[in-house]
Amino acid sequence: MALIKSISGIRGTIGGLAGEGLNPLDAVKFVSAYATFIKKNTTSKSNKIVVGRDARISGAMMEQVVVGALMGIGFDVVNIGLATTPTTELATAMEGACGGIILTASHNPRQWNALKLLNQDGEFLNAEEGAEVLRIAEAEEFIFADVDNLGKVTNKDYSDAHIKAVLDLKLVDVAAIKAANFKVAIDCVNSVGGIVVPKLLKALGVNHIIELNCEPTGNFAHNPEPLAENLTEISDLMKSGKADVGIVVDPDVDRLALVDEKGEMFGEEYTLVAVADYVLKHTPGNTVSNLSSSRALRDVTNRYGMQYNAAAVGEVNVTAKMKATHAVIGGEGNGGIIYPASHYGRDSLVGIALFLSHLAHEKKTVSELRATYPEYYIAKQKIELTPEIDVDAILKAVKEKFSSYDVTDIDGVKIDFPDKWVHLRKSNTEPIIRIYSEASTMEDAEIAGAEIIEIIKSLAK
């Protein structure tokens, strides 16, 4: 069993003893803490909190517990049921609610679930706010409503409203997509994407859709993280020549992966790169991704004479940097698209609509489009820590050793060399240092990371 409490939310496995997983008692405690925080801090005049969930097996149980706890604190609940993470974010804003809770463990396996916590704008709580929720939970500083002030629940479906919001975006070209007559294969890993992605594609004018794993049972047909090793089924289908593009989403539909007509992965980093290329072509402006994302976004941004900025890892950090720099597009290299013209949250539905618009305008195959972008490879390595190792001292020493290069220390230490970069981050959940490195070949990326690992080992002696 596992229960991970962090400033970005609460996640854990289902089952076992209270306090050892994300079980009903734990859910009530943290939801009550969140509701207490919202009651104390919101500037909204609303008394509503939106609740949505993905299709994982524990979702129905968690939904009832969470809705009941919110009503017990005195909040009215708008329960939107099976809904994507971005749908819940949009619904929170559209309802004028004072907060929202998404029940999803994102790409984690079926035994996991989580509480993702939103503010009145439908955006994730920041670090300070998340820490306060954890403090309230630990102190159990919540007061439940008396019988005359219990909340009420209203059930709504926001899927169609989300799709309409996507179609209304200026850069979504339904006519061009329809004229392209795309054949599209989709893998929605047996969650809420199976409900909304086919509806979106039909609304975009796509008439040829091959559906894989679209029944929202929560019994994921494969590991739900949208990485190449987990996507052999759709890759094999694409190799048969039955579709022009393959589209894959994770269980809560905030990460988007693409497969070309040859069955090759477009590359999770390049989802954002391609969408940014399209947006920048029509909307000059700045871009943002996190420090561990590909340099390719910077290169494409520079092509348009615009400014790229890097944020600390984490969606809330990326959105904060996007607001500060007035970015027109941003996101994370894991396939997360954040398009402010829609909302400040990773949204695969927005990503799908913009990518297909781009593909229709370019009149290229997916592999031909991919070939127009700079070629980079990211290697991901780690080094295990022992209790006596002073990680902060090691990171400081690495920063000083490479001070002649462009070094960023807003989130660990990132060293930008002329032809590559290496990013070191201490894990918040494991006793390890993660070492991400990027270069023009995988071999060079792995060597760059390995060299830093050897330096860390020498410093740890």
Q: Which amino acid is at 168?
A: D
| Distant-in-sequence, close-in-space partners of 44: CB < 8 Å, separation ≥ 6 | 96, 97, 98, 120
Scanning 263-376, the segments in alpha helix (DSSP H) are 268-282, 296-303, 315-325, 348-362, 366-370
CB neighbours of residue 305 within 10 Å = 8
Assess contact for 21 and 127: CB atoms under 8 A.
Answer: no
CB neighbours of residue 58 within 10 Å = 22
The length of the chain, given as a count of residues: 461
- How many alpha carbons lie under 13 Å from residue 347 in its C-beta half-sphere? 28
Assess contact for 141 and 42: CB atoms under 8 A.
Answer: no
Burial of 353 (0-12, 13-18, 19+ CB in 10 A): buried
DSSP at 123: -
Beta bridge partners of 308: 287
Query: So which residues are the catalytic ones?
Result: 106
Burial of 419 (0-12, 13-18, 19+ CB in 10 A): exposed
